[in-house]
Amino acid sequence: QYQGLTGLRNLGNTCYMNAVLQSLCSISPLVEYFLSGKYISALDKEKGEIATAFAYLMCDMWLGEFDCVSPEVFRLVLGERYPTFLRKTQQDAQEFLIYVLNELHEALKKVHKRRCQGSTSTSWESRTCTSETSIITQLFQGHLSYDIMCLECQTTTYKNEIFTVLSLPIPYESECTLQECLDCFFQQDMLTWNNQIHCSHCGTNQDAAVKASIAQAPKIVIFHLKRFDCQGSYKKKLRTEIYYPLNNLDLSPYIYPLVRKNPKYSLFAVVNHFGDLDGGHYTAFCKNTITKNWYSFDDSQIREIPESSVQTGPAYLLLYSCQAFSIPVKTHNY
């Protein structure tokens, strides 16, 4: 049996978890970080339980000694902190993914302190800045920059934000392209009424125009297609067919001009959601680094699929990388 082709047992509506875990297990640099035991030196012993359980699960899933393994231990440890994931009800795969990435980051982060100049309105002062890095920030973290322009005095201010997942609006009902979703996310937006900004130049609240761009593109970019439209008690699922490229996704139109490079991204995993809001079923399509083929992961069932099947109507999360993955090697004894 090939490596990285291990099914996951369904523990009662845990397909959302299985689909996300399979997608994470197709990220070679992440898998290798655990297979090599590198994570051990970074691990915060106090809050390392979830990351340790994740490491063991990734090894079991990657090494391929069994046709199917159970994510039970990982789920129990995660459930101690987030009891939602112990329930036998369907959860949102995107929320689960964010919880897992946050937990791994918290357990594996390194805090860097440095002196930096900060300005107050009256003087420059020296203060300490901290930044946190981990395998998660190295792989998934990007920076967005927002240009916010006061429409009264035209003064522009900037705001930065970090992201690990980009939640993209779906602009059309029946079909559209991923580029159209990206255009919609990165288009200029007006802040009026309750969303006005406080302009320090005018000294009052004013209407403003805001435009986001990518100030730093991540190595791995995760798109969350906002299919679940919830406004108050009104909920619906958008079943728009979204066309996405398998190769050569160009993010440069959305990258801040001064830092513009030309990274081209290739798709390596898709999380699909079938059915309705509160039930439904999740599966994952992942590309295997060894065979270079695509596989469908449906809990314990795995089957090879042709590349032409990777474009699919139920796509919910899309994972792209700007670097080709090499085959992860196990160098640590568990």
Residues annotated as catalytic are 15, 281
Query: Residue 325 gets which letter from DSSP?
Result: P
Considering the complex, what minimum distance in angstroms separates the CB of residue 148 from Zn ion?
10
Considering the complex, what minimum distance in angstroms separates the CB of residue 152 from Zn ion?
5
Dump the DSSP string for 125-193.
EEEEEEEEE-HHHHHH-EEEEEEEEETTT--EEEEEEEESSEEE----SSEEEHHHHHHHHHS-EEE-G
Q: Is 201 in the site for Zn ion (CB under 5 A)?
A: yes
Among 78, 108, 199, 286, binds Zn ion (CB under 5 A): 199
Question: How far apart are alpha carbons 266 and 263 in whole angstroms?
Answer: 10
Question: How far apart are alpha carbons 18 and 4 in whole angstroms?
Answer: 13
Choose the binding region for Zn ion from 124-132, 148-156, 166-174, 307-315 (rule: CB under 5 A). Answer: 148-156
Query: Radius of gyration of the chain from Cα atoms?
Result: 21
Considering the complex, what minimum distance in angstroms separates the CB of residue 198 from Zn ion?
9
Among 35, 150, 170, 217, binds Zn ion (CB under 5 A): 150
Q: Is 132 in the site for Zn ion (CB under 5 A)?
A: no
Q: Is 106 in the site for Zn ion (CB under 5 A)?
A: no
Choose the binding region for Zn ion from 19-27, 111-119, 193-201, 250-258 (rule: CB under 5 A). Answer: 193-201
The single-letter code of the amino acid at 13 is N
Angle between helices 49-63 and 93-108 (to 10 degrees): 110
Q: Is 152 in the site for Zn ion (CB under 5 A)?
A: yes
Considering the complex, what minimum distance in angstroms separates the CB of residue 154 from Zn ion?
7
Angle between helices 49-63 and 28-35 (to 10 degrees): 110
- Provide the 3-class DSSP secondary structure of residue 117: strand
Q: Is 207 in the site for Zn ion (CB under 5 A)?
A: no
Choose the binding region for Zn ion from 45-53, 93-101, 146-154, 311-319 (rule: CB under 5 A). Answer: 146-154
Q: Is 153 in the site for Zn ion (CB under 5 A)?
A: yes
> Which residues are at the interface with Zn ion (CB under 5 A)?
150, 152-153, 155, 199, 201-202
